[in-house]
Amino acid sequence: MNEKLSYAMVGVDIDNADATKKDMQKSLETTDSRVINKSGAFAALFEAKFEGIDNPVLVLKAEEPGSKQLLSFQHNKVGNICYDLINHLVNDIIVMGAKPEAVLDIILCGKIQKDIVVEVVEAISNACRAQDCVLIGGETSEQPKVLSEGSYMLNASILGVVDKHKIIDGSKIVVGDVVIALASNGLHTNGYTLVRTLMDRYPHILEEKVQGESFLDAILTPHRCYYQNLKELFPKDIIHGLAHITGGGIQGNLNRILPSGIDARIDLDKIKTHPIFEILKRYGNVDDEEMLKTFNMGVGITLVSSPENASQIIEHLKSTGCDACIIGEIVDGEQCVEFINNLKY
């Protein structure tokens, strides 16, 4: 009864948190004059000026990188998961035609480990800069007995902007359009609970090679971001719809942008299936229907355009380092995605 308690004794070290936040400040430095708060402010201030946009519509999204972050922290791939987080966020807003502008992050942990938290903030900040946006602030919260020491949960929110008259929402999609697949670089950030189960049941899966790299490196490759590949196409007004292929696969995401009265018919034979998926299918004896529902199967984004513009779109994407090909067409229907033929592994 006479023991003197302190916050540090029960697991929250404010001095360590303050020292960690001080070391974060360098990562938050920016030359973007629209960021007008100083580091340590209670909230971030971002001046709403958007060059070249006459009727700005704000595009907002929050995201977390799912159970992939558990593997990333376990295998010392902390920077990778930070790129996963930002790249997934950016992809979610650019499919509306938006330009990414500003990001807020949240780092939850059982105990603040200064070197790890500083590494996380630096990697998130660098991932933002790579996509022409800026990390302007966030929150780092130490929560002992809620999370175990060494455990981290990351999430973030993003602000983007698009001119009201240039929003891409699928409303321009018509029968006769084609569906173009933008290649993924692997799992991105979906299906990792199944992957971790396979790793637990069949540890020798770690001995597999994927395009010359280890299985572990392949599954922890950061989620590919498509903003730099697509941004020069946005002003041309030749994209009728974009869908980010995440949980639910092609069927569960492409259908979200289809207008009433039409379907997307996807020829599975034309998909360039990423080799990681053959390994997962083989070890888990997973049928193709389940594979298509769980994974992107090598398609990171689907793009819908008129057939007349497809060639220049594909040529542009390839010139920016993004493989792309036609995998389907738009037909009469009921806002569904139908598959024909079979996947090739």
Is the model's pLDDT at 126 over the cut of 80?
Answer: yes
What is the reported pLDDT for 89? Answer: 97
What is the reported pLDDT for 1? Answer: 58
In order of their start, the domains of the chain are 14-166 (3.30.1330.10), 178-340 (3.90.650.10)
Is the model's pLDDT at 139 over the cut of 70?
Answer: yes
Residues near 38 by Cβ (< 8 Å), separated by ≥ 6? none
Residues constituting the chain: 345
Give the distance, in angstroms, between the CA of residue 239 and the centroid of all CA atoms in the same chain: 20
What is the reported pLDDT for 5? Answer: 62
Q: What percent of the chain has pLDDT over 70?
A: 94
Q: What is the pLDDT of residues 216-245, one digit of tens each?
A: 999 999 999 999 999 999 999 999 999 999
Residue closest to 173 by CA, chosen among 87, 91, 89, 262: 262
Q: Whole-angstrom Cα distance, residue 107 to residue 104?
A: 10
Angle 264-302-105 from CA coordinates, rounded to 5°: 135
**Mean model confidence pLDDT for the chain:** 93
Q: What is the pLDDT of residues 60-112, one digit of tens each?
A: 999 999 899 999 999 999 999 999 999 999 999 999 999 999 999 999 999 99
Q: What percent of the chain has pLDDT over 90?
A: 83
Q: What is the pLDDT of residues 262-280, one digit of tens each?
A: 999 999 999 999 999 999 9
- Stated pTM of the model: 0.91
